[in-house]
Structure 1
Amino acid sequence: MPESNPSKDDFLYPHYSYHGEAKPENIVFNANLQEFAQRVNYICNLETGGKITSNEAYQQIKELWQQLDSSREGLGISEESDGPE
């Protein structure tokens, strides 16, 4: 029987199944990418709500992007191997 009351963490931090080539580095990068997208969404909402400035939002997103790029490089995922051929 499906859970009728999902946990707060499942609601706030949803994770979706990976549908690409199931190599460990791809799965880890997909999790990192989902976290990046979720955090960018929160930052955008904070900026839209006036809690942080546009400059702060930009700097935070830029830092997150650098972290994501570093994780891609650390996992050995090249830019050329991205996407279907």
Structure 2
Amino acid sequence: ASRSAKDLLASDDAEWDRLRDRMNANTDAEFEALKAGFRAGIPAPGPVDEDAANRMLKLMAELGGEELLGAATELPEGVFVQPGS
């Protein structure tokens, strides 16, 4: 469902128009910037690089500590569902 939503929002401006009121964008420019930022952040389809995600989590733990992540220090096994599994 998440990938389908991302694919839809990546390509369909009409879907963004349906969301606009919920986005609290005060101007057209702000709305377009939010839309562009979301689209730029959509990850490429395919399997997740779990090693990279774990390195990022460790960095977040190092920088933000328990206040940011709670007790998490590494990704739990199986946190990402791999395509085809």
Q: After TM superposition, is the score higher than 0.5?
A: no
Task: Give the TM-score, by structure 1 length.
Answer: 0.33
Task: Give the TM-score, by structure 2 length.
Answer: 0.33
Structure of higher RCO (CA pairs closer than 8 Å, 6+ residues apart): 1
Larger Cα Rg: Structure 1 or Structure 2?
Answer: 2
